[in-house]
C-alpha cells in the first residue's frame, strides 16, 4: 500500500477527527426519484441469481464490507451507519457533531449520494465530505455531487493518510457475518452463533482484467490488485482468530480470484493439515485458476462452494481458454462443490436469433445457482472506454444511472439487440434455468449428497468431518425442505420426480432420521411456502435493517439520535509477533 505523500489531502484534526461512514439510504426495493429500483433490491440472490424462483429464492443481505474495513483500520473515532433511511441519516447528523462524513456507493446510487451530500452541506456546512467506492468512477460525479474528495480505489490507505495515521500498519480484519436475515421458502435461515459463514477479505481487485470487470479496473486493472494479507501464514492466523472469535468454521472468501495464487493456497492447505482444521471455503474463482488444482486439493482445502464466471459459449476470455465449462462444473459437483455459474446475456455476438442457444448452453451446466447479467459497460472499465470511443453509450436522459445495474436494460447501443429486447432475454434465461433444473436449494442439496457419498471415507479426518458437518441438516431441516419442495410441484411433473430422487437419496444416506424429519417438518414448511407465495403475490419486498456501530468502546451502548451504537469488532494479524504454532 502506498505511504503518505505530501500532496495527499490531510484533515487538520488528524486522528482526532470524528468520522461518520454511511452507505446509501433505503428503502431499496421500490421505484423512487432517488434511484431505488424495485428490480434492484439490496439482496444478492433475489437481485441477480434466484430472481425468478419465487418462494425458492434465497433471500439475504450483506453488510457494506468496505465501510466496515475502513472503520476497523482507523484510530480516529469512527461510526458506521449502514442501510439508513434518509430520515435516520438526517437524525444522525442532527444529533452528533462529525468532522468527516464518508459515503460509500456504486454508480447506480449516485442520485442518493448527491441527496446525502446536499443534506450534510445544509445541516453541517463545516464537515469534510468524502465520497468513495465504485461511484467514484461515475463520469459526472464532480458535476452531480457536491463533496470535498472523490476517492477512487482502495479506501483504508486513503483514510489513514487523510487522518495522518500510519499507512503501513497491518490491516485489522472486522468480524463479519457473511449473510444476514437469511430466509428461504418463507422460513428464516439459521441465525445462531457460528451458523453462518464469516466473510474474509484477503484482497481487492483481480489481475485478470476482463474488459467488463469493474472490480478489476477499480483496483488497478490487468496485472494488479491490492492484497491485505500477502502470505498464507498470515491468512491462516487470521482465519484461526476469526474461528475463535465467531465460532465459525466456514469462510466466505471475498477475493475475486483467491485460487489464482496457487502457492499461497497450497501453503494454506499445508497449515490446515498441520493444525487439523476442518474448514469450508466459499470462493470466487475463474476457470483457469480452478484448473491449477487437482480435485483432491480443492476438496482438502475445504472448497465447498465456487462462484465461477462461465460468461458465454465461445466467449473470448483468456481465463476460459481450453476449458469445457460444462465438464468442469459437473466434475466440481461430483466432489460436493456447489457451483454458482455466472453468464452474460448480450455479448457482442449475441443476436435475437442465437440468444436461445446461448441460454440453453448456460442452463445445460445445471449449476447449483446461476447468475445472469447483461453485458454492461460500467464506468472505469476498458469496455466502457471502448464503447465511449465508439459513441455507443446512452446519455443520462436516455438511460439514467439508476437503471445501469445489469438487470433491466443496456446503457449502450448493442450491435444486434435493440428496442429493449434485452430485459426479456435476461428473464428468459432465469426462467429457462429454473424450469430445466428446478429450485437451486434442491440442486445444492443434490451436490452435497454427491460429495458426502464420494468423500465419506476420505483419508483425512478433517475432510470427513467437514462433509458430516455440511450435510448434517439433511437428517433434519433440509429433509423437511425436500419433502415440502417435492409436494410443491404437481404429481407427474419432471421437477417433482427430480426432487423426489434427491429426497430418496437423502433417506438412503441418513436413514430414518431423514425420513422422519421430512414427514415432521415438511408440512410446516409447505404451509410457510404457501403463505410466502401469497405475500410475494401481494408485492412484498425485503429490506435490510439499519446497523449503527462505533470503533470506540466508550461510545458503545450510548444513545444518541434515539439509538445506541454497538461496538464493531475485529481481529489483528499476529504473524510476525506470535508464531502460528503458538496461536493454534
Ligand atoms: C457484496 C456486494 C453487493 C451486496 C451489497 C453490499 C452493500 N452493502 O452495498 C449486494 C449483493 C446487495 C450487491 C448488490 C448490487 N451490486 Co454489488 N457487489 C458486492 C461485491 C461482491 C462485494 C463488495 C465488497 O464488499 N467488496 C470488498 C470491499 C473491501 O471492497 P469495496 O466495497 O470496493 O470497498 C473498498 C473501496 O471501494 C473503498 N471504499 C468503499 N466505500 C468507501 C467509502 C469511502 C468514503 C471511501 C473513501 C472509500 C470507500 O474502500 C474499500 C476498501 O478498499 C462487489 C464485488 C467486489 N468484489 O467488490 C459487487 C459490486 C460492488 N456490485 C456491483 C453491482 C453492479 C451491484 C448491483 C447493481 C447488481 C445487480 N443489479 O444485481 C446491486 C446494487 C444493489 C443496490 N440496490 O444498491 C458492482 C459495481 C460495479 C459498478 N461500478 O457499477 C460490483 C463491483 C460487482 C461487479 N464486479 O460488477 N452487491
Ligand atoms: S476473472 Fe472475474 S474478477 Fe477477474 S477480471 Fe475477470 S471477471 Fe473480473
Domain ranges of the chain: 14-173+546-571, 174-375, 451-537
> What's the CA gap between 410 and 494, in Å, rounded?
35
pTM here is 0.97
**Short-list 368, 191, 216, 200, CA closest to 281:** 200
What's the gap in Å between 499 CA and the centre of ligand 2?
Answer: 34
319 lines ligand 2 (CB under 6 A): yes
What's the gap in Å between 106 CA and the centre of ligand 1?
Answer: 6
Q: What CATH number belongs to 14-173+546-571? A: 3.40.50.280
308 lines ligand 2 (CB under 6 A): no
What's the gap in Å between 255 CA and the centre of ligand 2?
Answer: 10
What's the gap in Å between 163 CA and the centre of ligand 1?
Answer: 24
Mean pLDDT over 433-456 rounds to 98
pLDDT tens per residue across span 522-531 = 999 999 999 9
User: CATH fold of 174-375, please?
Assistant: pyruvate-formate lyase- activating enzyme (3.80.30)
Mean pLDDT over 72-90 rounds to 98
What's the gap in Å between 407 CA and the centre of ligand 2?
Answer: 19
Task: Kindly give the number of the ligand 2 atom that is closest to the alpha carbon of 309.
Answer: 2
**Residue 5 pLDDT:** 61
**Residue 6 pLDDT:** 66
277 lines ligand 2 (CB under 6 A): no
Task: Kindly give the number of the ligand 1 atom that is closest to the alpha carbon of 64.
Answer: 8
Task: Kindly give the number of the ligand 2 atom that is closest to the alpha carbon of 289.
Answer: 1
What's the gap in Å between 284 CA and the centre of ligand 2?
Answer: 9
Q: Check whether 491 has a pLDDT greater than 80.
A: yes
Going by alpha carbons, the residue nearest to atom 5 of ligand 1 is: 62
Mutate to test the pocket of ligand 1, among 127, 215, 220 (most ligand atoms within 8 A of CB): 215
Q: Which comes out higher in pLDDT, residue 320 or 497?
A: 497
Mean pLDDT over 536-547 rounds to 98
Query: What band does 579 get if pLDDT is binned at 50, 70 and 90?
Result: very low
**Per mean pLDDT, which range of 89-98, 293-302, 371-380, 559-568 is the poorest?**
559-568
Q: Check whether 120 has a pLDDT greater than 50.
A: yes
Query: What band does 319 get if pLDDT is binned at 50, 70 and 90?
Result: confident
Going by alpha carbons, the residue nearest to atom 3 of ligand 2 is: 256
**Residue 1 pLDDT:** 42
Mean pLDDT over 130-134 rounds to 98
Inter-residue contact 51 to 434 (CB < 8 Å): no
What's the gap in Å between 211 CA and the centre of ligand 2?
Answer: 9
309 lines ligand 2 (CB under 6 A): yes
**Residue 2 pLDDT:** 44
**For 506-517, b where at least 16 C-beta lie within 10 A, e where not — what string?**
bbeebeeebbeb
What's the gap in Å between 141 CA and the centre of ligand 1?
Answer: 17
Q: Check whether 576 has a pLDDT greater than 70.
A: no
541 lines ligand 2 (CB under 6 A): no
What's the gap in Å between 117 CA and the centre of ligand 1?
Answer: 20
Task: Kindly give the number of the ligand 1 atom that is closest to the alpha carbon of 544.
Answer: 8
How confident is the prediction for the chain on average, in pLDDT? 95
**Short-list 517, 446, 508, 443, CA closest to 484:** 517
**Residue 559 pLDDT:** 82
256 lines ligand 2 (CB under 6 A): yes
CB count, 10 Å around CB of 74?
21
> What's the CA gap between 196 and 190, in Å, rounded?
7
What's the gap in Å between 133 CA and the centre of ligand 1?
Answer: 7
**Residue 493 pLDDT:** 97
Task: Kindly give the number of the ligand 1 atom that is closest to the alpha carbon of 206.
Answer: 57
**Residue 584 pLDDT:** 28
Q: Check whether 318 has a pLDDT greater than 90.
A: no
Inter-residue contact 394 to 364 (CB < 8 Å): no
48 lines ligand 1 (CB under 6 A): yes
Q: Check whether 102 has a pLDDT greater than 60.
A: yes
Inter-residue contact 361 to 190 (CB < 8 Å): no
Task: Kindly give the number of the ligand 2 atom that is closest to the alpha carbon of 317.
Answer: 6
Across 6-10, 99-103, 471-475, the highest mean pLDDT is recorded for 99-103
**Short-list 80, 76, 66, CA closest to 164:** 76
**Short-list 348, 271, 367, 357, CA closest to 310:** 367
Outline where 86-192 has alpha helix (H).
86-95, 110-123, 141-144, 155-162
**Residue 583 pLDDT:** 32
**Residue 575 pLDDT:** 77
**Residue 85 pLDDT:** 98
Mean pLDDT over 356-374 rounds to 98
DSSP state of 401: G
Amino acid at each position: 500500500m502506498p505511504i503518505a505523500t505530501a500532496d495527499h489531502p490531510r484533515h487538520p484534526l488528524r486522528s482526532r477527527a470524528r468520522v461518520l461512514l454511511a452507505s446509501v439510504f433505503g428503502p431499496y426495493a421500490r421505484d423512487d426519484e432517488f434511484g431505488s429500483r424495485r428490480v434492484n433490491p439490496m439482496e444478492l440472490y433475489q437481485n441477480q441469481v434466484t430472481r425468478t424462483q419465487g418462494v425458492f429464492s434465497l433471500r439475504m443481505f450483506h453488510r457494506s464490507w468496505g465501510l466496515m474495513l475502513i472503520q476497523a483500520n482507523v484510530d480516529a473515532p469512527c461510526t458506521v451507519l449502514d442501510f439508513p433511511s434518509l430520515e435516520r441519516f438526517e437524525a444522525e447528523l442532527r444529533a452528533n457533531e462529525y468532522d468527516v462524513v464518508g459515503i460509500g456507493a456504486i454508480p447506480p446510487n449516485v442520485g442518493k449520494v448527491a441527496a446525502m451530500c446536499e443534506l450534510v452541506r445544509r445541516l453541517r456546512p463545516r464537515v469534510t465530505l468524502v465520497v468513495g467506492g465504485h461511484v467514484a468512477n461515475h463520469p459526472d460525479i464532480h458535476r452531480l455531487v457536491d463533496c470535498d474528495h472523490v476517492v477512487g480505489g482502495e479506501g483504508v490507505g486513503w483514510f489513514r493518510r487523510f487522518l495522518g495515521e500510519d499507512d503501513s500498519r497491518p490491516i485489522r480484519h472486522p468480524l463479519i457475518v457473511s449473510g444476514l436475515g437469511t430466509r428461504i421458502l418463507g422460513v428464516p435461515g439459521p441465525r445462531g452463533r457460528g451458523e453462518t459463514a464469516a466473510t474474509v477479505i484477503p484482497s481487492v481487485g483481480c489481475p485478470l482484467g476482463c474488459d467488463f470487470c469493474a472490480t478489476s479496473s477499480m483496483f488497478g486493472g490487468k496485472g494488479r490488485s491490492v492484497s491485505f494479507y500477502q502470505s498464507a501464514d498470515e491468512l491462516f492466523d487470521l482465519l484461526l482468530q476469526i474461528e475463535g472469535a465467531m465460532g465459525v468454521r466456514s469462510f466466505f472468501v471475498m477475493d475475486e480470484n483467491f485460487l489464482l495464487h496457487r502457492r499461497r493456497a497450497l501453503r494454506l492447505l499445508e497449515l490446515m493439515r498441520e493444525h487439523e482444521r476442518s474448514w469450508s471455503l466459499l470462493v470466487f474463482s475463474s476457470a483457469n485458476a480452478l484448473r491449477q488444482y487437482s480435485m483432491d486439493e480443492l476438496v482438502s482445502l475445504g472448497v465447498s462452494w465456487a462462484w465461477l464466471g462461465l460468461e458465454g459459449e465461445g466467449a473470448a476470455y483468456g481465463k476460459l481458454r481450453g476449458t469445457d465449462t460444462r465438464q468442469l462444473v459437473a466434475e466440481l459437483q461430483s466432489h460436493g462443490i456447489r457451483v454458482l455459474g455466472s453468464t452474460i446475456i448480450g455479448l457482442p455476438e449475441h443476436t435475437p436469433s442465437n440468444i436461445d442457444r446461448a441460454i440453453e448452453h448456460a442452463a445445460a451446466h445445471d449449476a447449483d445457482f446461476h447468475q445472469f447479467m447483461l453485458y454492461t459497460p460500467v464506468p472505469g472499465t476498458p469496455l466502457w472506454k471502448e464503447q465511449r470511443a465508439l459513441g455507443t453509450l446512452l446519455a443520462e436522459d436516455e438511460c439514467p444511472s439508476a437503471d445501469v445495474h445489469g438487470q433491466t436494460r443496456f446503457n449502450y447501443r448493442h450491435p444486434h439487440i435493440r428496442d429493449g429486447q434485452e430485459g426479456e432475454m435476461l428473464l428468459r434465461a432465469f426462467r429457462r434455468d429454473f424450469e430445466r433444473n428446478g429450485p437451486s436449494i434442491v440442486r445444492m442439496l443434490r451436490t452435497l449428497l454427491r460429495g458426502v457419498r464420494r468423500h465419506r471415507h476420505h483419508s483425512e479426518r478433517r475432510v470427513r468431518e467437514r462433509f458430516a458437518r455440511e450435510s448434517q441438516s439433511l437428517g433434519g431441516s433440509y429433509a423437511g425442505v425436500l419433502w415440502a419442495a417435492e409436494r410443491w410441484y404437481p404429481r407427474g411433473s419432471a421437477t417433482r420426480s427430480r426432487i423426489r430422487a434427491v429426497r430418496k437419496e437423502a433417506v438412503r444416506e441418513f436413514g430414518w432420521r431423514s425420513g422422519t424429519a421430512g414427514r415432521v417438518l415438511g408440512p410446516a414448511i409447505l404451509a410457510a411456502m404457501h403463505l410466502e407465495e401469497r405475500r410475494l403475490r401481494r408485492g412484498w419486498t425485503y429490506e435490510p435493517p439499519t446497523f449503527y456501530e462505533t470503533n470506540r468502546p466508550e461510545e458503545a451502548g450510548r444513545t444518541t439520535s434515539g439509538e445506541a451504537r454497538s461496538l464493531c469488532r475485529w481481529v489483528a494479524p499476529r504473524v510476525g509477533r506470535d508464531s502460528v504454532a503458538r496461536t493454534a
